[in-house]
RNA sequence: GCGGGUGUGGCGGAACCGGUAGACGCGCCAGAUUCAAAAUCUGGUUCAGGCAACUGAGUGGGAGUUCAAGUCUCCCCACCCGCACCA
């Protein structure tokens, strides 16, 4: 075959690799170093999209390259298969979630295989396989036993029509995204994992994550949000002036206590709750606050408001001073103690509150260089550094000194305790849904929540369910739901909540190490393979998935399933795949394939309407700017698609899909194929003599290979591909009359094929078979070695500057010393012209770099 | 508001430690081939001026350090992303 035909060769090689077990790793006792390469597993929506193509191509290049470098590579694939879309499909299309999911998996598996990925498919599993979630249930029971998993009441977004709990992002303008019903705040008993207990470790280990992008680490740090402060008590008087139980507050700024103007408590603080029972106004204020949404915008817009309770607190340092206690809408109930003291001069929220209620604004920190007497807090609170003023015994201290001194006093006199608070809350894992991993707990009136005995695992989902009624079908399935208590054998009920799908994806990477039937992980296998050396996925999982996985690894270590706490040694976040967007004048999105360009304007192919070209945006169905990978693979082949998503842009940046770009990639793939055949036929000419051109070619071979290797090591695929363009360009120009030495030609061809291997594996493999005498597979070949001595030049072209401006070039021998170079340079006609009668101050010679003449 | 990132030709992007700015690709222009087109091949392409050799300007803007700055320092500007009443 001389015509390049991806359709035939791609599926041919995919089958050969599979038959040959090329991508199954060697046994774990091998002497070669291990490399675990993993891309985030996909949700089986039914079709792969370009984001997957990019993600999995990047991973595949790394995996294939590492393998050729002699590493024992694990590169598995699976399915994040539980979750809402399957239930939505069940409701909309009347198809069972299980059937829908497995059908999608089958389709997507084929699509992924058509990309020619070096996956060990033997390890494939879906999180909805009972053989997977059986072990997850066991893990849950372990976590329940060691009290990492627990139940508590919590406020949830409740959709009264769909009878389900909604995630925050499913609440749009206070209404359920599907039903449109007004969402209620409801208290439900939910399962939680104590991730907050691990907060310090999760934070402290971030700097150790050397192979992670800086921004992901910063995002996690912010998310965990540690703050160190002090919790202490205010003595409290009720509206009759009688002493009641003290109010406990948390602050990071005890140094500003002398600026305190009020005390704020949250709407569900015990004092607020008891007040609501007696006071209608208090009650209506609290209700008003509750109605206000919890979305970011609602919070942003909400004015700071409070309700004067009549309670007063005693200032701990100022004898006889009493401050009002307000129920305040901006005090969070689930952070700190749900109560604060307000210092308007040095906290923006307190400042706004004080303005509204005309409370005193006393500055207690004076910025450096300002006169305390002139100091006025006008439009915003001052949160910067300075010296303490207006604060009695704290005066003239620095902020840290004042913090220390006031804290010590609070510890002595006001039950103060040094405390660290985290923004990170415990992880709510209950979902009132059918298509998720059942929680293996039975609720018994006598015994409480009881673990299902291990021998009864897995608790599978019942198949005979319908989705015509709102709510969780598990609740409406009596034979599944009503069981005997494993402990006392009395009537009891199964837990009908299922697990958040983030639980499924928090340990799948450990399961891939070995699909052990007896236990969640195989100790020997995880000890060998983990941590994942290179994890690759989208930035959208920068916080939750990665944080949960880090937490889970540590929890699993405590349970003896692993011996690492950090699961991902290297993390890489690839950019999105974007495409131009088109809209009609009335704002309706239009598919790019329906748009035609005439001169400088765009028109609809069918309706001939004027079309407005919008900014390139992430491919999404709603914007109708998706390109189906299937179509691209059918038209150009997988190698072209792989080439395109790797070329042009660095992998961590967004790429812009363009028809011209793919077209060009397709053309170049064909050119590579022709070049392979050309080199092959040239190399049959038996040239023994080594001429200048041969030598140049040999040097080029080794130079390109050295650069290409460096690029792959640094994940700079766009640069690697740019090198290949040059390499192939040069190789394609070689002619019989050049009389290139056969051995060197063979080397050119061999280097080319091996470099192509990770990027366009089918093309490379086909070329290998056709041109190399060895019967081996290219994907089993070791990476070629370049000769460092060959890369060194004997002569180099150096730029010559005059006063920092390039004026000439000079070719000199590499080892030539400074003074010799100076003499040569001054003889150059271009330089003579300029320097003529001028006095030269000095000549700078940077060996191998540049020459600069200064006058 | 806080935090992070980015800014280089018409476009995507190269440029190691400060040392020839614009590699490579797209697009565009010219030529070869062809009856013609497609495909392919060859060459050109930062901008301005010039027939040309050449000259001047140029990495978001401004200052600075240096023989030399896209790269280092300071101050601005624009855009993107994340978080956001966390006391």
Q: Closest nucleotide to A733's CA, by C1' atom?
A: B41
pLDDT value, residue A762: 96
Average pLDDT over residues A170-197: 79
Average pLDDT over residues A342-364: 89
> What is the distance in angstroms measured between the alpha-carbon CA of A841 and the sugar C1' of B21?
27
Q: Closest nucleotide to A797's CA, by C1' atom?
A: B20
Average pLDDT over residues A602-629: 82
pLDDT value, residue A444: 95
Answer yes or no: is A655 CB < 7 A from strand B: yes
Q: In terms of Cα–Cα distance, which of A394, A372, A392 is closest to A382?
A: A372
Which tokens belong to A495? 């837990």
Q: Name beta bridge partners: A36.
A: A74
Average pLDDT over residues A194-201: 91
If you ran DSSP here, which 8-state letter would residue A489 be given? Answer: -
User: What span, in angstroms and rounded, lies between the C-alpha atoms of A55 and A68?
Assistant: 20
The residue that minimises its CA distance to C1' of B67 is A854
> What is the distance in angstroms measured between the alpha-carbon CA of A640 and the sugar C1' of B21?
31
Reduce the DSSP state of residue A30 to 3 states and report it: coil
Q: Closest nucleotide to A798's CA, by C1' atom?
A: B20
> What is the distance in angstroms measured between the alpha-carbon CA of A157 and the sugar C1' of B5?
34
pLDDT value, residue A295: 44
Q: Closest nucleotide to A350's CA, by C1' atom?
A: B87
User: What span, in angstroms and rounded, lies between the C-alpha atoms of A670 and A692?
Assistant: 29
The residue that minimises its CA distance to C1' of B14 is A719
Tell me which of A172-186, A332-346, A608-622 is least confident: A172-186
Average pLDDT over residues A694-721: 93
> What is the distance in angstroms measured between the alpha-carbon CA of A707 and the sugar C1' of B9?
26
Residues contacting A236, CB < 8 A, separation 6+? A243, A244, A245, A246, A247, A311, A312, A313, A314, A325
Answer yes or no: is A380 CB < 7 A from strand B: no
User: How many Cα atoms within 13 Å fall on the side-chain side of residue A631?
Assistant: 8
Q: Name beta bridge partners: A175.
A: A172, A182
> What is the distance in angstroms measured between the alpha-carbon CA of A210 and the sugar C1' of B17?
22
Judge whether residue A173 has pLDDT over 70: no
Answer yes or no: is A726 CB < 7 A from strand B: yes
Per DSSP, helices labelled H in A494-614 are: 501-504, 508-511, 523-529, 544-558
Between residue 782 and residue 801 of chain A, the positions with Cβ below 7 Å from nucleic chain B are 797, 799, 801
Q: What are phi and psi of A86, to 5 degrees?
A: -65, -35
pLDDT value, residue A292: 64
Indicate the helix (H) or strand (E) that contains A482: strand A482-484
Mean pLDDT computed over every residue of chain A: 89
The residue that minimises its CA distance to C1' of B66 is A804
Distance of CA A531 to the CA centre of its chain: 17
Q: Closest nucleotide to A647's CA, by C1' atom?
A: B25
Q: Closest nucleotide to A844's CA, by C1' atom?
A: B67
> What is the distance in angstroms measured between the alpha-carbon CA of A633 and the sugar C1' of B38?
23
CB of A183 within 8 A of CB of A293? no
Judge whether residue A297 has pLDDT over 50: no
The CA-CA-CA angle for residues A224, A511, A462, to 5°, reads 95
CB of A731 within 8 A of CB of A675? yes
Q: What are phi and psi of A385, to 5 degrees?
A: -85, 160
Answer yes or no: is A167 CB < 7 A from strand B: no
Q: Closest nucleotide to A804's CA, by C1' atom?
A: B68
> What is the distance in angstroms measured between the alpha-carbon CA of A718 and the sugar C1' of B59?
21
Residues contacting A480, CB < 8 A, separation 6+? A462, A474, A494
The residue that minimises its CA distance to C1' of B82 is A219
pLDDT value, residue A2: 63
Between residue 239 and residue 258 of chain A, the positions with Cβ below 7 Å from nucleic chain B are 250-253
> What is the distance in angstroms measured between the alpha-carbon CA of A655 and the sugar C1' of B63?
36
Answer yes or no: is A336 CB < 7 A from strand B: yes
Answer yes or no: is A840 CB < 7 A from strand B: no
Average pLDDT over residues A172-191: 76
Average pLDDT over residues A694-705: 92
Judge whether residue A686 has pLDDT over 90: no
Reduce the DSSP state of residue A665 to 3 states and report it: helix
Q: Closest nucleotide to A658's CA, by C1' atom?
A: B26
pLDDT value, residue A294: 47
The residue that minimises its CA distance to C1' of B84 is A296
The b/e string for A448-472 (b: 16+ C-beta within 10 A; e otherwise) is: ebbbbeeeebbbebeeebebeeebb
CB of A25 within 8 A of CB of A72? yes
Task: Please report, for chain A, how many H helices and E strands are present, in that order.
Answer: 27, 35
What confidence tens digit (pLDDT) does each residue in A24-58 have?
999 998 889 999 999 999 999 999 999 999 999 99
What confidence tens digit (pLDDT) does each residue in A264-289 have?
999 889 999 988 898 999 998 888 87
CB neighbours of residue A269 within 10 Å: 22
Q: Closest nucleotide to A724's CA, by C1' atom?
A: B24
Q: Closest nucleotide to A851's CA, by C1' atom?
A: B19
What confidence tens digit (pLDDT) does each residue in A554-597 have?
999 999 999 998 999 999 999 988 888 888 878 788 887 787 77
Which tokens belong to A77? 């694939």
CB of A291 within 8 A of CB of A371? no
Answer yes or no: is A45 CB < 7 A from strand B: no
Between residue 270 and residue 329 of chain A, the positions with Cβ below 7 Å from nucleic chain B are 296, 299-300, 302, 304, 329
> What is the distance in angstroms measured between the alpha-carbon CA of A254 and the sugar C1' of B1?
23
Of residues A293 and A182, which shows the higher confidence score? A182
The residue that minimises its CA distance to C1' of B23 is A722
> What is the distance in angstroms measured between the alpha-carbon CA of A808 and the sugar C1' of B18?
21
Write out the DSSP string of A682-699: HGGG---S--HHHHHHHH
Answer yes or no: is A215 CB < 7 A from strand B: yes
Q: Closest nucleotide to A329's CA, by C1' atom?
A: B85
Global ipTM: 0.93
> What is the distance in angstroms measured between the alpha-carbon CA of A600 and the sugar C1' of B10?
14
Between residue 631 and residue 650 of chain A, the positions with Cβ below 7 Å from nucleic chain B are 647-650
Answer yes or no: is A347 CB < 7 A from strand B: yes
Answer yes or no: is A654 CB < 7 A from strand B: yes
Answer yes or no: is A719 CB < 7 A from strand B: yes
Residues contacting A476, CB < 8 A, separation 6+? A465, A469
Q: Angle between the A717-732 and A742-756 helix axes, to the nearest 10 degrees?
A: 150
Between residue 660 and residue 689 of chain A, the positions with Cβ below 7 Å from nucleic chain B are 660-661, 663-664, 667-668, 670-671
Per DSSP, helices labelled H in A234-385 are: 270-278, 280-291, 296-301, 348-357
> What is the distance in angstroms measured between the alpha-carbon CA of A721 and the sugar C1' of B13?
12
> What is the distance in angstroms measured between the alpha-carbon CA of A212 and the sugar C1' of B4?
14
CB neighbours of residue A383 within 10 Å: 13
Q: What is the dihedral of CA A119, A124, A126, A130, to 10 degrees?
A: -170
What confidence tens digit (pLDDT) does each residue in A808-844 have?
888 888 777 777 888 888 887 777 777 776 778 888 8
> What is the distance in angstroms measured between the alpha-carbon CA of A825 and the sugar C1' of B70?
28
> What is the distance in angstroms measured between the alpha-carbon CA of A806 and the sugar C1' of B47?
18
Answer yes or no: is A219 CB < 7 A from strand B: yes
Answer yes or no: is A818 CB < 7 A from strand B: no
What confidence tens digit (pLDDT) does each residue in A363-399 have?
998 887 777 777 777 777 888 888 899 998 999 998 8
Please state, for a pLDDT cut of 70, what percent of chain A lies above it: 96
Which tokens belong to A290? 């509750």
**Strand B nucleotides within 7 Å of a protein CB:** 3-5, 11-16, 19-21, 23-27, 39-42, 55, 67-69, 81-87
């Amino acid at each position: 075959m001389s015509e390049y035909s991806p359709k035939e060769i791609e599926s041919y090689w995919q089958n050969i690799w599979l038959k040959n077990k090329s991508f199954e790793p060697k046994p774990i006792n091998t002497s070669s170093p291990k490399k675990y390469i993993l891309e985030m597993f996909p949700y089986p929506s039914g079709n792969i999209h370009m984001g997957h193509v990019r993600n999995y191509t990047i991973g595949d290049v790394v995996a294939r390259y590492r393998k050729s470098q002699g590493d024992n590579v694990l590169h598995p694939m699976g399915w994040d298969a539980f979750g809402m879309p399957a239930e939505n499909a069940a409701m909309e299309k009347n198809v069972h979630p299980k059937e829908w999911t497995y059908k999608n998996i089958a389709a997507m598996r084929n699509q992924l295989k058509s990309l020619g990925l070096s996956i060990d498919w033997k390890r494939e599993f879906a999180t909805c396989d009972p053989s997977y979630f059986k072990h997850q249930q066991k893990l849950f029971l372990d976590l329940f036993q060691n009290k990492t998993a627990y139940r508590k009441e919590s406020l949830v977004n409740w959709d009264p029509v769909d009878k389900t709990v909604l995630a925050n992002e499913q609440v749009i303008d206070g209404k359920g995204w599907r039903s449109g019903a007004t969402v209620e705040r409801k208290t439900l008993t939910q399962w939680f994992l104590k991730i907050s207990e691990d907060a310090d470790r999760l934070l402290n280990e971030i700097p150790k994550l050397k192979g992670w992008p800086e921004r992901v680490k910063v995002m996690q740090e912010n998310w965990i949000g540690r703050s160190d402060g002090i919790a202490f008590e205010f003595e409290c008087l009720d509206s009759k002036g009688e002493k009641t139980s003290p109010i406990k507050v948390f602050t990071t700024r005890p140094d500003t206590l002398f600026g305190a103007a009020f005390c704020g408590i949250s709407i569900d603080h015990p004092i607020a709750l008891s007040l609501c029972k007696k006071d209608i106004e208090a009650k209506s204020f609290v209700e008003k606050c509750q109605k206000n949404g919890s979305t970011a915008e609602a919070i942003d817009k909400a004015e700071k408001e409070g309700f004067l309770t009549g309670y007063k607190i005693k200032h701990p340092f100022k004898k006889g001073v009493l401050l009002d206690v307000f129920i305040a809408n901006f005090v969070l109930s689930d952070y700190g103690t749900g109560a604060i003291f307000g210092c308007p001069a040095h906290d923006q929220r307190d400042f706004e509150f004080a303005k509204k209620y005309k409370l005193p604004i006393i500055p207690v920190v004076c910025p450096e260089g300002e006169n305390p007497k002139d100091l006025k807090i006008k439009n915003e609170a001052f949160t910067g550094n300075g010296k303490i003023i207006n604060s009695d015994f704290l005066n003239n201290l620095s902020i840290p000194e004042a913090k220390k001194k006031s804290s010590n006093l609070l510890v002595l006199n006001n039950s103060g305790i040094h405390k660290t608070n985290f923004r990170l809350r415990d992880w709510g894992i209950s979902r009132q849904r059918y298509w998720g991993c059942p929680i293996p707990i039975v609720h018994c009136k006598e015994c409480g929540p009881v673990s299902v005995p291990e021998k009864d695992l897995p608790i599978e989902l019942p198949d005979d369910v319908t989705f015509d009624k709102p709510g969780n079908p598990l609740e409406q399935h009596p034979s599944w739901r009503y069981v005997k208590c494993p402990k006392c054998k009395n009537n009891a009920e199964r837990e009908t909540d299922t697990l958040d799908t983030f639980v499924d994806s928090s340990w799948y990477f450990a399961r891939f190490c070995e699909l052990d039937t007896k236990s969640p992980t195989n100790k020997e296998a995880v000890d060998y393979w983990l941590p994942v050396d290179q994890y690759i996925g989208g930035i959208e999982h920068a916080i939750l998935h990665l944080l949960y996985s880090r937490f889970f690894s540590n929890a699993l270590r405590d349970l003896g399933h692993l011996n690492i706490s950090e699961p991902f040694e290297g993390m890489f976040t690839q950019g999105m795949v974007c495409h131009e967007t088109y809209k009609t004048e009335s704002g309706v999105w239009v598919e790019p394939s329906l748009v035609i360009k005439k001169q400088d304007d765009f028109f609809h192919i069918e309706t001939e309407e004027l079309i407005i070209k919008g900014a390139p945006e992430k491919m999404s169905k709603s914007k109708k700017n998706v390109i189906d990978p299937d179509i691209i693979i059918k038209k150009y082949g997988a190698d072209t698609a792989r080439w395109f998503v790797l070329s042009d842009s660095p992998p961590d940046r967004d790429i812009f899909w363009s028809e011209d770009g793919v077209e060009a990639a397709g053309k170049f793939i064909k050119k590579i194929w022709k070049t392979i055949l050309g080199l092959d036929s040239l190399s049959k000419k038996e040239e023994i003599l080594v001429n200048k051109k041969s030598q140049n070619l040999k040097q080029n071979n080794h130079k390109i290979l050295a650069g290409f290797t460096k690029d792959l090591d640094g994940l700079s695929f766009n640069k690697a591909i740019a090198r290949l363009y040059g390499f192939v360009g040069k190789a394609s120009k070689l002619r019989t009359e050049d009389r290139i030495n056969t051995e060197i030609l063979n080397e050119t061809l061999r280097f080319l094929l091996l470099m192509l291997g990770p990027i366009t594996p089918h093309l490379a493999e086909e070329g290998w078979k056709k041109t190399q005498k060895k019967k081996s597979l290219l994907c089993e070949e070791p990476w070629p070695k370049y000769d460092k001595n060959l890369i060194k030049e004997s002569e180099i072209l150096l730029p010559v500057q005059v006063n920092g401006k390039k004026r000439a070039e000079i070719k000199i021998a590499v080892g030539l010393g400074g003074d010799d170079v100076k003499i040569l340079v001054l003889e150059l006609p271009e330089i003579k012209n300029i320097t003529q009668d001028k006095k030269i101050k000095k000549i700078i010679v940077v060996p191998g770099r540049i020459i600069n003449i200064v006058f």
